Structure 1
Amino acid sequence: MDALFTVPTPENEPVKSYAPGTAERESLQKKLAELAGTQLELDMNISGEWRTGTGAEIKVVQPHKRAHVLGVAREATDSEVADAVAAAKAARRDWQRTPFADRAAVFLRAAELIAGPYRDTLNGATMLGQSKTAAQAEIDSACELIDFLRFNVGFAEGIYRMQPQSSRGVWNRMDHRPLDGFVLAITPFNFTAISGNLPTAPAIMGNTVVWKPSPTQQFAAHFLMRILLEAGLPPGVINMVTGYGEAVSNVALRDPDLAGIHFTGSTKTFQHLWKTVGDNITGYHAYPRIVGETGGKDFIIAHPSAQPQQLAVAMVRGAYEYQGQKCSALSRTYMPASLWRGGLKDIVLGMTEELTYGDVADFSNFGGAVIDDRAFAKHVALFDRIRSDDKATVLTGGSADDSEGYFVKPTLIEATDPTHELFTEEYFGPIHAVYVYDDGDFETVVKQASDIAPYALTGALFATDRRAIAWASEELRYAAGNYYINDKPTGAVVNQQPFGGSKGSGTNDKAGSWQNLVRWVSPRSIKENFVPPTDYRYPHQG
């Protein structure tokens, strides 16, 4: 076809409320009952074919009902990962030569399938498998994932339209080629949207992918893979393998054709991936691109001029939504004494104690359970440590119960030492520490808080004094990749607040913007001279 196509202009997907009496609430509740009533074989998908693995069984359960098995996955073996890598390589030539309009159509159709007939399925699977409430699932597995697919297609078109200047008699062009090999996408448990974005962003740019979801997100990942195939994704473009990843490290990370890694997860795992690439650097055909987001120790700093009620709501929502299991979740707050002792402490404490965690199918609950026994044990160990700590006082919470699910109570701790581990270590749970400072020490506190933690993902400042906002915003310039003024440090929206941080938080390649998509191309400059010279001599030689 002779045409320069323009993709549909993307817009952010509207968020449904699931309020009592709404049609979407009733529909989602029916789907939840249906999904909970079946047990699935959570197989791999290699070259478009579903395959039951041969490794050890992994039971995927509801974290809030840990005896309820949703499905069974299997640990991928070396040979199965090798098959996935081979499938990605085999599909690469045809996929990278597929016209952009045809590639884009696959992901635009997937977005429409999620927005329409599969919205309840993906939201319900995320709720049951990852213990998210309806509201948290809606903004994640529906809206954010739809936004990633639509906007990434738009970002890709924008990149392709970025062309160099040409002088008279010359036509300069830029060929935005896919990378030299396959991309490995390793995705986390906490966001279905991230699980969808990490393999599809490189694929939109013409790359083929080996995708390993987290076992604790495998239930929703299974349905997402089905949606991509129904949307027309050709065999081998995205190959999903299951399990904890030992075979991925053994095979995919060391393959000569590894061209890139797209990762979200723990700092320790990301460093292992990077080190493995470094140890094998002489064996690759090209230098692998490494893009990763690894976590944070996210903060609110309150100035004495902050509005108390707004600050309280931001603290409670920021710290305790999705049980604190967001990379951006609030875990440390710096509070002026005049506000804290002037009534704000009682407001925050009261809100926190009103929160209910339970079965996410009960829409009255604010949250669910933490993801698994390892997370649960980590939080219990912290509570044991601080129980006799004279520098930390548990104001509410500080307890956990795994008799039915992995429940950790929303915990508020007041600490007197701003260098305490409560202000430096990432816990990834509903644990929120507050340090109270003398009002006159605001600038000292800002400087200390800026550098005390090894991360730089998200942070927020609450103030109405414009001079304080201007000064602190400059002082905190490198403390957070996503910085909020008078808002909680969570809830980034695609194309509105591109997401990512630096230091120990990752490579800051900004998911939800063109800056991420451009990492998945290897540009080629082309110069065509319409009238080449015919004499080797230059004018100055005359």
Structure 2
Amino acid sequence: MLKGFFNVPKAINEPVKSYAPNSPEKKAVLTAYQQMWKAQIDVPLYIGSEEIRTGNTRNITPPHDHKHIVGVYHLAEKSHIEKAIANALDSKTKWASMAWEQRAAIFLKAAELIAGPYRAQINAATMIGQSKNIYQAEIDAACEFIDFLRYNVEFMTQIYSDQPKSTSDVWNRLEYRPLEGFVYAITPFNFTAIAANLPASAAMMGNVVIWKPSDSQVFSAKIIIDIFKEAGLPDGVINVVFGDALIITDTIIESRDLAGVHFTGSTHVFKDIWAKIGSNIHHYKTYPRIVGETGGKDFVVAHPSANVKQVVTGLIRGAFEFQGQKCSAASRAYIPKSLWTEVKQQLITDVKSMKMGSPEDFGNFITAVIHEGSFDKLAKYIDQAKKDSDIEIIVGGNYDKSVGYFIEPTIIVTTNPNYVTMETELFGPILTLFVYEDDQWEATLKLIDNTSEYALTGAIFSKDRYAIEEATVALQNAAGNLYINDKPTGAIVGMQPFGGARASGTNDKAGSAMNLLRWVSPRNIKEVFVTPEDYRYPFLGE
């Protein structure tokens, strides 16, 4: 084994490419998009060194053209999950004992593969499979994915270098062991970078992983797998399974070797997993680490001093980028009466200017929501809003799923601050506004804090520093990520560690060393150089 205190490359955030007309990156991603659109991929289970095709398959269809099939993926049975657990545990000893710099090199190489030869592929796959426009794909599937890998390597070295105090006769050393067992990573459809980071962050710290991607993210998950393989990730370190979430999760939770769960998804599912682990706690070798980022009902509050154009831009981008399918999306807003007329006019103008359609057309700001279940749920809320007396839909309100799952960006104004769409996470392009009296600023802050069970993100718009301070204090428990004069989305790795509390999760802050610490179990070693040979202490001399 090589010896040395190794310095890793300084982590930098990947620059976002512009995809301007006639740019080489635009040409590359459109070429990749068209090739992948015409191809038919066949995605197996990845268990150890095997690619397993069960023959029980589901189609992969783009949300913006749900009759078009771009491939299939294979579904696991219980026996496959048991095999994945066994393969992960068989791989554990060799992977955990690998020198940290060798693990780091794999993920640093993966980052450069994404930045270079795989950039167009992973962006195109995200555009096709998740209906992201090119900008949303670029900041997610390329840049944030790269940032997670680069910064996690840097965070890993920071953790390893954090050592206790020693003296001339006692050397204290802290080693950061991987968890005893395996980690179960469950990832969502909406961010390719999150889907990659949840298994990769645990693996980077020496753990073996069983990864279940969302059924709606398989297309880009295949590219993630290809990248990790080309980067040199050994077989069995990250095992990938698809299929019935209940069967997979229940089989994994039955294993006494479960050491941790890394989760992003719905609050309800996360609580169910937590409850099952709790009821099974006497069975495990160790207490499983449970890390989760779940839902949000994220707010924007404008003070009477706020700049109207800034508020409107924050609302439009925060609520409607990627069709509002971000856990951080602005979905409820509080506007002072003195600004309302101007805010309303600008919101309507901006929404009406948006184009909607396939992400292949770079003129489209809005594309489709992820699947029919999401479409039907959102349409139901819109239909109910049209019937309710305390509601006005000021723009949008139409939908069509004949070709793709298209929901118009919709803005609802309510006179009831506790209306259902002010409290319930919708995960779609629906923004609900409440107009408050200017002299009710303090009361509105209390209302914001008490309205939702979630506490993920929020934004304050104001020119008044006293008002900003007051809101920051009043809303200290209402958001794990708070934005001042900016939209409540777009956390950047290494700059804004991301996560929330209350029903929004365990707040373990992806994009920081705090998250990586959850995937190690420290052991302190004390070595004494001159060991005592007599039990008697000096005070016994009398």
TM range (shorter): over 0.9
Q: Note if 1:17 corresponds to 2:18.
A: yes
> Residues of 2 paired with 1:229 and 1:522: CA distance?
27
Gaps of 5+ in 1: none
The answer for the alignment partner of 2:362 in structure 1 is 363
SS at match of 1:467: helix
Task: Provide Cα deviations, 1:260-283, integer angstroms capped at 9, x if missing partner.
Answer: 000000011111111111111111
The answer for the alignment partner of 1:476 in structure 2 is 475
SS at match of 2:518: helix
What is the letter of the counterpart of residue 402 of structure 2? S
The answer for the alignment partner of 1:128 in structure 2 is 128
Residue 50 of structure 1: CA displacement?
A: 1.6
SS at match of 1:69: coil
> Residues of 1 paired with 2:284 and 2:330: CA distance?
40
Q: Note if 1:149 corresponds to 2:149.
A: yes
Point out the more displaced range, 60-69 or 243-252: 243-252
Equivalence map 1:54-93=2 (5 Å): 54=55, 56-93=56-93
Residue 64 of structure 1: CA displacement?
A: 0.1
Whether the aligned pair in 2 keeps the contact of 1:457 and 1:501 (CA below 8 Å) is: yes
Residue 208 of structure 1: CA displacement?
A: 0.2
TM-score normalised by structure 2 residue count: 0.99
What is the letter of the counterpart of residue 184 of structure 2? L
Whether the aligned pair in 1 keeps the contact of 2:394 and 2:413 (CA below 8 Å) is: yes
Point out the more displaced range, 129-138 or 389-398: 389-398
Whether the aligned pair in 2 keeps the contact of 1:78 and 1:250 (CA below 8 Å) is: no
The answer for the alignment partner of 1:43 in structure 2 is 44
What is the letter of the counterpart of residue 530 of structure 2? V
SS at match of 2:304: coil
Whether the aligned pair in 1 keeps the contact of 2:263 and 2:291 (CA below 8 Å) is: yes
Residue 74 of structure 1: CA displacement?
A: 2.3
What is the letter of the counterpart of residue 212 of structure 1? K
SS at match of 2:95: helix
The answer for the alignment partner of 2:347 in structure 1 is 348
The answer for the alignment partner of 2:433 in structure 1 is 434
> Residues of 2 paired with 1:293 and 1:186: CA distance?
11
What is the letter of the counterpart of residue 160 of structure 1? Y
SS at match of 1:261: strand
Equivalence map 1:76-225=2 (5 Å): 76-225=76-225
Residue 246 of structure 1: CA displacement?
A: 2.6
Point out the more displaced range, 254-263 or 239-248: 239-248
Residue 183 of structure 1: CA displacement?
A: 0.2
> Residues of 2 paired with 1:318 and 1:153: CA distance?
30
Residue 48 of structure 1: CA displacement?
A: 3.1
Point out the more displaced range, 208-217 or 18-27: 18-27
Residue 247 of structure 1: CA displacement?
A: 2.4
> Residues of 2 paired with 1:207 and 1:27: CA distance?
36
Point out the more displaced range, 499-508 or 43-52: 43-52
Whether the aligned pair in 2 keeps the contact of 1:169 and 1:531 (CA below 8 Å) is: yes
> Residues of 2 paired with 1:432 and 1:158: CA distance?
41
> Residues of 2 paired with 1:411 and 1:367: CA distance?
12
What is the letter of the counterpart of residue 181 of structure 2? G
Whether the aligned pair in 2 keeps the contact of 1:215 and 1:244 (CA below 8 Å) is: no
State, as a whole percentage, how many aligned pairs show the same letter.
49
TM-score normalised by structure 1 residue count: 0.99
What is the letter of the counterpart of residue 235 of structure 1? D
> Residues of 1 paired with 2:9 and 2:253: CA distance?
37
Equivalence map 1:508-523=2 (5 Å): 508-523=507-522
Residue 168 of structure 1: CA displacement?
A: 2.7
Residue 44 of structure 1: CA displacement?
A: 1.2
Task: Provide Cα deviations, 1:229-256, integer angstroms capped at 9, x if missing partner.
Answer: 1100011000000124232123112110
Residue 21 of structure 1: CA displacement?
A: 1.8
SS at match of 2:18: coil
Whether the aligned pair in 2 keeps the contact of 1:460 and 1:488 (CA below 8 Å) is: yes
Equivalence map 1:315-354=2 (5 Å): 315-341=315-341, 343-354=342-353
Whether the aligned pair in 2 keeps the contact of 1:76 and 1:247 (CA below 8 Å) is: no
Whether the aligned pair in 2 keeps the contact of 1:53 and 1:80 (CA below 8 Å) is: no
Whether the aligned pair in 2 keeps the contact of 1:214 and 1:244 (CA below 8 Å) is: no
Whether the aligned pair in 2 keeps the contact of 1:41 and 1:73 (CA below 8 Å) is: yes
SS at match of 2:6: coil
Task: Provide Cα deviations, 1:484-507, integer angstroms capped at 9, x if missing partner.
Answer: 000000000001000000000000
The answer for the alignment partner of 2:253 in structure 1 is 253
> Residues of 2 paired with 1:213 and 1:53: CA distance?
17
Whether the aligned pair in 1 keeps the contact of 2:45 and 2:75 (CA below 8 Å) is: no
> Residues of 2 paired with 1:356 and 1:254: CA distance?
48
Task: Provide Cα deviations, 1:415-471, integer angstroms capped at 9, x if missing partner.
Answer: 001111111100000000010011111110011111210000000000000110011
The answer for the alignment partner of 2:33 in structure 1 is 32
Whether the aligned pair in 2 keeps the contact of 1:58 and 1:243 (CA below 8 Å) is: no
Task: Provide Cα deviations, 1:97-137, integer angstroms capped at 9, x if missing partner.
Answer: 00001011010000000000000000000000000000000
The answer for the alignment partner of 2:6 in structure 1 is 5
What is the letter of the counterpart of residue 400 of structure 1? Y
> Residues of 2 paired with 1:391 and 1:58: CA distance?
43
What is the letter of the counterpart of residue 532 of structure 2? P
> Residues of 2 paired with 1:357 and 1:428: CA distance?
18
Task: Provide Cα deviations, 1:135-170, integer angstroms capped at 9, x if missing partner.
Answer: 000000000000000100110111000000012300
Whether the aligned pair in 2 keeps the contact of 1:48 and 1:229 (CA below 8 Å) is: no
What is the letter of the counterpart of residue 11 of structure 1? I
Task: Provide Cα deviations, 1:19-59, integer angstroms capped at 9, x if missing partner.
Answer: 112111111111100010101111111113221124x4211
> Residues of 2 paired with 1:338 and 1:301: CA distance?
14
What is the letter of the counterpart of residue 421 of structure 2? L
Whether the aligned pair in 1 keeps the contact of 2:356 and 2:367 (CA below 8 Å) is: yes
Gaps of 5+ in 2: none
> Residues of 1 paired with 2:253 and 2:17: CA distance?
40
Q: Note if 1:421 corresponds to 2:442.
A: no
